[in-house]
Amino acid sequence: MLKRIFAPALCALLLAGCATMADRLRGSLEPPAERGYAIVSLTGKSANPDSATLGMDIANASGRVVAADSASLLTDTVFGEQGKSMAEGKLMLFTLEPGSYRVEQVWANWLEDGAWGVNRKMRSFRLAAPFEVKRGEAVYLGNVEVEMSFLPEARLRDESERDFAHVRRIWKIKDVSGVQLRPLGQAHP
């Protein structure tokens, strides 16, 4: 009897606490006063995506980690245009003070089938990829893709077409023309 009473109440409470990115942004990529946004996708490929988790650390100019986020390949997806391919991972939005930063590292852990059974693998990739955030600006940093295989690696890519489609479809932002394109690892004017 108590389960039937408390289960719906617990579900409602949990759902009320889960504001979506679209709810948070309310149709605008205008950062809060005196801040800027950094947008980056973290995606991965694994033979066992149900067990794979990725994470990213953002450090300031003095090397202190000031922001971090993670993604599960089981539950997180970056959606492109409708009918086009999607990627397992997460499109992340960091609210930062104006200044110089770097994507310090990404990390991954996953299960891998081995000769003696299943093994938990963990790997971090130091990137130290610099970027800058300006007041009132949203900047797109590209995609960090982690390959979780026999020879794990992390690659930087420009996936702006796919990621901007996600911003429009999932975050409900109609106009992305104001987002500055400065993918990590590429020269910028």
Domain range summary for the chain, segments of one domain joined by +: 28-181
Distance between CA atoms of 67 and 60, rounded to whole angstroms? 9
Distance between CA atoms of 123 and 54, rounded to whole angstroms? 10
Q: Are 66 and 59 in contact (CB under 8 A)?
A: yes
pLDDT (0 to 100) of residue 19: 65
Q: How confident is the model at residue 116 (pLDDT cuts 50, 70, 90)?
A: confident
Compute the mean pLDDT over every residue in the chain, rounded to the nearest whole number.
Answer: 87
Please give the average per-residue pLDDT across 70-77, as a whole number.
95
pTM of the complete model: 0.86
Please give the average per-residue pLDDT across 156-171, as a whole number.
95
Residue 148, judged by CB atoms within 10 A of its CB (0-12, 13-18, 19+), counts as: buried
Q: Are 73 and 14 in contact (CB under 8 A)?
A: no
Q: How confident is the model at residue 2 (pLDDT cuts 50, 70, 90)?
A: very low
